[in-house]
Amino acid sequence: MERNGLIAQIWGGDLSEGESLQGSPLAGLLESLMDVQVITLASDAEMKRPIAVMEETEILDGASLGDVLSEEMGIDVPYGALILVMPKDFSRSQDMSGQKLGEILGHIILDMTQGQYSVTPDVSGKAKDLVHLAASGQAAALKLSGLSGSRLQ
């Protein structure tokens, strides 16, 4: 999904606050890795995989994702939060192995480093931190508080 697809989902009413997605292993993993609040949204649109975008990412000229979500959907988005967009039934998926989470996380990191959803592909500081951790092999050393082994299997 590209930037225009994200905007289309917002304006088309395809996104909603993901009450059923709260506490997902992916959200917990991202929250632990990046030390930011994760806002989880559920999408009715067809998606290959979940996406994550920093709230300060400019998705329209002069408008950040956080501002657009606040204005268009009435969602309170704290400054510096990470917006995680997942298919509606993603949390019910039985294929949530550690390997699958790792694959999804890899795609998220790649998208963030390339500024995939931004008008100006400038990588945010939090995304740079995550890339640095992953590149240096320190991601394994991070504590995954709140994630038990059974939730990752």
Q: How many CB atoms lie within 10 A of CB 71?
A: 11
CA dihedral 140, 28, 133, 143 (to 10 degrees): -40
Distance of CA 46 to the CA centre of its chain: 16
**Rounded to two decimals, what is the model's pTM?**
0.72
- Tens of pLDDT, residue by residue over 114-127, are 766 666 555 455 55
Q: Are 68 and 60 in contact (CB under 8 A)?
A: yes
- Tens of pLDDT, residue by residue over 73-112, are 999 999 999 999 988 877 655 557 788 888 888 888 888 8
pLDDT of residue 100: 82
Of 11, 10, 90, 21, whose CA–CA distance to 50 is shortest? 90
DSSP string, 23-79: T-HHHHHHHHHH-S-EEEEEE-S--SS-EEEETT-EEETTEEHHHHHHHHH-----T
Domain ranges of the chain: 3-140
Instruction: Give me the chain's average pLDDT, please.
Output: 75
- Tens of pLDDT, residue by residue over 56-71, are 988 888 889 999 999 9
Whole-angstrom distance, CA of residue 74 vs CA of residue 143: 33
Whole-angstrom distance, CA of residue 144 vs CA of residue 74: 31
Question: Is the pLDDT assigned to residue 21 strictly greater than 70?
Answer: no
137 pLDDT band, cuts 50/70/90, is very low
Amino acid at 73: M
Q: Are 38 and 105 in contact (CB under 8 A)?
A: no
Whole-angstrom distance, CA of residue 23 vs CA of residue 126: 21
128 pLDDT band, cuts 50/70/90, is low
pLDDT of residue 151: 32
